[in-house]
Chain A
Amino acid sequence: MNAPARVTFRIRRFDPVRQSPPSWEDFEIPAVAGMTVLDGLRTIKETLAPTLAWRSSCRMGVCGSCGMFINGHPRLACNTQIAELGSGPVTVAPLPNFDTIRDLVPDLRPMFDKHAALSPYIIRDDHDEMYEPTGEYGQTPEELEEFLQFTYCIKCGCCMAACPTCATDPVYSGPMPLGQAHRYNADSRDGGFTTRKTALAGDQGPWRCHYAGECSRACPKGVDPARAIQLMKRQLVFDYLRLYSQPCPAGVVTPAPASARRPDVPEAPAPTVDVSRARTSPSC
């Protein structure tokens, strides 16, 4: 598909100083093959509108900064080529369901607060082992597959913008925080199901998800938060029916006995940083 010679960007602008309602502004720029929406925004900022604001960083769909509402869909600006959007103008608005800080910059803090409230980290009793590990926790490839898909989340907020419940309900945690809570609930090394359940069993939990499926369609990384949320519901319902109890977290595996190194495998290069210094924090 060839990109048109010129393309119109219709961008929603908001100035936090004036606090007047957001308005749409059109910009026409030359289009080149392979041009992404993010490339277009850069061209506009460099040539037409120096005050245009948005958030971006890596330019390759990894950092999760440039989530925007592009032609009515939440997408990453760096991952969206203008050629795939058809021949009309490219409409770019800030992600909905978040307050707008300025132009295309959404306020993602409520999402991160909800994320943090669901304890998205490994919770275990053996603190000594966690902070001074003597080995690694054992995990089979099958156990890894139970949550691996959900670890690819880049916290861009596209799923929250697509979710119908998030469109009205400020209490509901939303797809990203819930998906990440399940990522840890499903981790065989974790023992925090009971801790997370205190929040998940109430209003913030998965009960306001009705499987419209939009979060999974919107996710630019194929994380499928809707799947995580339904699996979480099953776990919680079975827990209520006393049909589920979280298994004991995986223990430390005994290191395999030393074996002769294969001659064709080279040695690892020497460290480029002083690891012993990096481990020392200034406070201790």
Chain B
Amino acid sequence: MRDQRLWTWHVAAGLVVLVTLALHMAIMHLDALLGLFNPAGGHPIDWANVAARSRQGFFLVSYVVLLGAALFHGLYGLRTILHELGPGPALRRGVDVTLLAGGGVLFVFGAWAAWAAFALARTV
């Protein structure tokens, strides 16, 4: 049941990442061609542009969704690779627990950063 459930979510998370990360990549790396969501002009990583995106609820939600989906998709992929190396049952369990804990910490940290940036940008 475990892999049946996790693999289904892995594919679903991959589709979510496909949409949200494609948007993120288009904004950050195809700026000269598309010029999306960079209201201050210049480079997408200029603080004025970063703050402008951070204060929008849409970006807060999409960043957190991308964060969660990409962490799950990526860490499940890593788990698959590590399991396929043929570790014993104890090591498999160790891999699962480590990835789950690491993923949880990074999600909380990343979501907090997105929220804090949202709150900060709103006050400025």
A contact set with B: CB distance below 8 Å: 165, 168-172, 197, 200-203, 205, 207-208, 233, 236-237, 239-241
Q: When the two chains form the complex, which single residue of A168, A202, A208 contacts B1, counting CB atoms closer than 8 Å?
A: A202
- In the complex, the answer to whether A202 meets B2 with C-beta atoms within 8 Å is yes
- By a CB distance below 8 angstroms, the chain A residues around B8 are 237, 240-241
- By a CB distance below 8 angstroms, the chain B residues around A165 are 84
Q: Which residue of A is nearest B9, CB measured? A: A240
Q: In whole angstroms, how far apart are the Cα atoms of A6 and B7 in the complex?
A: 53
How many residues of chain B are within 8 Å of chain A by beta carbon? 14
Q: In whole angstroms, how far apart are the Cα atoms of A239 and B1 in the complex?
A: 11
- By a CB distance below 8 angstroms, the chain B residues around A203 are 3, 83
Q: In whole angstroms, how far apart are the Cα atoms of A203 and B8 in the complex?
A: 14
Interface residues of B in 65-102 (CB under 8 A from A): 80, 83-86
- By a CB distance below 8 angstroms, the chain B residues around A236 are 4
- By a CB distance below 8 angstroms, the chain A residues around B7 are 207, 233, 237
User: Could you count the A-B residue pairs with CB atoms below 8 Å apart for me: how many are there?
Assistant: 46
- In the complex, the answer to whether A207 meets B4 with C-beta atoms within 8 Å is yes
Q: A169-B83, A207-B4 are in contact. List 8 more A-B contacts (CB 8 A).
A: A165-B84, A168-B85, A168-B86, A171-B86, A201-B4, A207-B6, A237-B7, A239-B4
- In the complex, the answer to whether A168 meets B84 with C-beta atoms within 8 Å is yes
Pull 17 A–B residue pairs with CB atoms less than 8 Å apart, ordered by A: A165-B84, A168-B84, A169-B83, A172-B84, A197-B4, A201-B2, A201-B5, A205-B3, A207-B3, A207-B4, A207-B7, A208-B84, A237-B7, A237-B8, A237-B11, A240-B5, A241-B8
Between B3, B6, B11, the greatest number of chain A beta carbons within 10 A of the residue's beta carbon is seen for B3
Between B1, B11, B80, the greatest number of chain A beta carbons within 10 A of the residue's beta carbon is seen for B1
- By a CB distance below 8 angstroms, the chain A residues around B85 are 168-169
Q: A98 to nearest B CB, angstroms?
A: 15
Q: In whole angstroms, how far apart are the Cα atoms of A202 and B6 in the complex?
A: 10
- In the complex, the answer to whether B3 meets A169 with C-beta atoms within 8 Å is no
- By a CB distance below 8 angstroms, the chain B residues around A168 are 84-86
Q: A201 to nearest B CB, angstroms?
A: 4
Interface residues of B in 1-40 (CB under 8 A from A): 1-8, 11
Q: Which residue of B is nearest A166, CB measured? A: B84
Q: Which residue of B is nearest A200, CB measured? A: B4
Q: A212 to nearest B CB, angstroms?
A: 12
- In the complex, the answer to whether B4 meets A205 with C-beta atoms within 8 Å is yes
- By a CB distance below 8 angstroms, the chain B residues around A200 are 4
Q: When the two chains form the complex, which single residue of B5, B11, B86 contacts A169, counting CB atoms closer than 8 Å?
A: B86
Between A201, A239, A241, the greatest number of chain B beta carbons within 10 A of the residue's beta carbon is seen for A201
Q: When the two chains form the complex, which single residue of B2, B3, B86 contacts A170, counting CB atoms closer than 8 Å?
A: B86
- By a CB distance below 8 angstroms, the chain A residues around B4 are 197, 200-202, 205, 207, 236-237, 239-240
Q: Which residue of B is nearest A210, CB measured? A: B80
Q: Which residue of B is nearest A237, CB measured? A: B8
- By a CB distance below 8 angstroms, the chain B residues around A205 are 3-4
- In the complex, the answer to whether B84 meets A201 with C-beta atoms within 8 Å is no
Q: B50 to nearest A CB, angstroms?
A: 37
Q: Which residue of A is nearest B1, CB measured? A: A201
- In the complex, the answer to whether A169 meets B2 with C-beta atoms within 8 Å is no
- By a CB distance below 8 angstroms, the chain B residues around A207 are 3-4, 6-7, 80
Q: Which residue of A is nearest B80, CB measured? A: A208
Q: Which residue of A is nearest B10, CB measured? A: A207
